[in-house]
Amino acid sequence: MDVSRRAAMLTSAAIAASVNFPEAALAQETPRRGGTMTVHFATEQRILNPSLQASTGVYIVGGKIQEPLVDLNAQGVPSPCLATAWESTPDGKTITFRLRQGVTWHDGRPFTSADVQFTAMEMWKKILNYGTALQQFLEAVETPDAHTAVFKYSQPMPLNLLLRALPDLGYISAKHVYEGTDIRQNPANTAPMGTGPFRFVQYERGQFIIAERNPNYWRENLPYLDRVVWRVITDRSAAAAQLEAGQVLYSPFSSLALADLARLGRDPRFEVTTRGNEGNARTNTVEFNQRNPILADIRVRRAIAHALNIPFFLENFLGDYAKLGTGPIPSTSPDFFPTGMPQYPFDRAAANRLLDEAGHRRGAGGVRFTLRLNPAPWGEDIALFTTFIQQSLQEVGVRVEVVRLDAAGFLRTVYNDHNFDLATGWHQYRNDPAVSTTVWYRSGSPRGAPWTNQFGVTDAELDTIIDGAATELDPVRRKARYADFVRRANTELMLWMPIEQIFLTAINRRCRNHSNTPRWGSSSWHDLWLAA
């Protein structure tokens, strides 16, 4: 295997030795008001409204400006935000939210149940990439008064599932900003308006985004910061240099090169940690476009999986903060993780045999056929994995042409135009399989919805399993249904998720109250402050 070993310094020992887990800021410290939080923004987004697109690239900005009904506290438990209380009927078909009073939008208009009703029915249900699957059985949202929203479902909606989903899939948009407009083209999508601790000021493409303190924020005397500035830096080395120079204080979601993360972790000015990312566990994907008749043959998909020596890749490139994956539900989810599922260990002989059986004999130069591989432009691990896939498949006679695009181009090409053969990126697991995982497998996602089933295949049995699990109120039976889901998903191999990881954060130690919730990078930062 002629794979570069330039990651020798990134072995398990090197990465582990460089990552720090210090104690939180001392309780007696008095928060300091003022200052600007500067953030490394690695991949620009088509939109910044988290009601319309669920992704960390959107949350890192939009999550400071807009707010969800429910958030997660430090223990990872659903906690009040724009909703203060909730209750469900025994049949799971009616869920009522009591809304926070005295909240205003950044333009001074009051936040009401009408905003919740509009967002849920027009955005979550029709457009939001994970919301369309989650809310497929939502029939109506009733608004008996300005501070009560009653969700009506045709099938049971487990309350725990909905509460786990809402921190990511429960952001609210202002009805008066979007009603009567083309929602997908509304200017507010890149100049968001919300109820959060910071209000949008300016977005200069390719340069920066600025938000300033909301003086009318409903949390009294918060936020502490004057403003947040996101600096667009696509070059990882340049981002690391700006972090070291103090021009950037925070680089989220493993956006730096692994070598730089290892070096920064040894610098006493910085903390490099997985803390604050527990709610954003991720798996690396191998995605198959089954519109290509070659990939429609399950023998070919299984051969590709067998051709990848994942343990070798982990040992030599990713270190301790990655492990062997076993399918769509990672081991970080003890409530749902199943064991004993079908697997595809490295077996080059089996890969060659399956390709022969599928009728793809080696031709000139030993090549069986050629595939295009589109890698997501998120992290260095994806770039490394792309090269690894390319070189691994070459060993079994499959030529791979890598097509690298920017974020917008990747999302359009793979999830809207379907102009790819293979793709690789990240799947993020968000507390419950029905939130952001089963949507990769269930048919019926709107064309263009990122990180959903856009692979040209419908599996009726898998759809039935997914729908049954999402509406099952009994937790024991629900876990069993998700074991059935993983078994079917791994057997049919619509896509493969062979690596588990947790994001790494690099942050300046001047930052206080950081990483104090399981989805901190996506959260509001209302209590973040900067030491002198």
Q: What single DSSP character describes residue 95?
A: E
**Could you identify the residue written with the tokens 């599996």?**
459
CB atoms within 10 A of CB 370: 11
Written as one letter, the residue type at 528 is L
**What CA–CA distance (Å, rounded) separates 131 from 403?**
29
- pLDDT tens digits, 130-176: 999 899 999 999 999 999 999 999 999 999 999 999 999 999 999 99
CB 162 within 8 A of CB 470: no
Structure-token pair, residue 321: 């903060």
Element at 9 (helix H, strand E):
none
Q: Which domains can be identified in the chain, with CATH numbers?
A: 10-44+205-276+504-530 (3.40.190.10), 66-175 (3.90.76.10), 279-501 (3.10.105.10)
pTM: 0.85
**What CA–CA distance (Å, rounded) separates 82 from 170?**
10
Ranges in the chain, pLDDT < 70: 1-28
pLDDT of residue 28: 63
pLDDT of residue 46: 87
Of 130, 172, 80, 138, give the one whose Cα is nearest residue 431: 130
Structure-token pair, residue 87: 């209750």
Longest dimension (CA), the chain: 72
Structure-token pair, residue 501: 């990881």
Of 415, 419, 381, give the one whose Cα is nearest residue 401: 419
**What CA–CA distance (Å, rounded) separates 522 from 209?**
16
Structure-token pair, residue 459: 């599996």
Determine the Cα angle at 64 with ends 61 and 69, to 5°: 120
How far is residue 88 CA from its own chain's centroid? 28
Of 398, 417, 175, give the one whose Cα is nearest residue 295: 398
**What CA–CA distance (Å, rounded) separates 238 from 232?**
11
Residue 181 contacts by C-beta under 8 Å, 6 or more apart in sequence? none
Residue 163 contacts by C-beta under 8 Å, 6 or more apart in sequence? 70, 78, 86
Structure-token pair, residue 487: 């078994």
Residue 50 contacts by C-beta under 8 Å, 6 or more apart in sequence? 58, 59, 62, 63, 66, 68, 168, 171
Element at 506 (helix H, strand E):
strand 505-508
Q: Where are the beta strands (DSSP E) in 224-315?
A: 227-232, 250-251, 270-273, 281-288
List, in sequence order, the alpha helices (H) in 418-518: 433-436, 460-470, 475-492
**Could you identify the residue written with the tokens 């009728």?**
359
Radius of gyration of the chain (CA): 23
CB 223 within 8 A of CB 213: yes
**What CA–CA distance (Å, rounded) separates 332 from 502?**
9
| Strands 505-508 and 270-273, bridge-based pairing | antiparallel
CB 155 within 8 A of CB 134: no
- b (16+ CB within 10 A) / e for 504-526: bbbbbbbbbbbbbbbbbbbbbbb
Backbone angles phi, psi at 340, to 5 degrees: 70, 30
Collapsed DSSP state (helix, strand, coil) of residue 438: helix
List, in sequence order, the alpha helices (H) in 158-286: 159-169, 175-178, 236-244, 258-265
Structure-token pair, residue 216: 């009318």
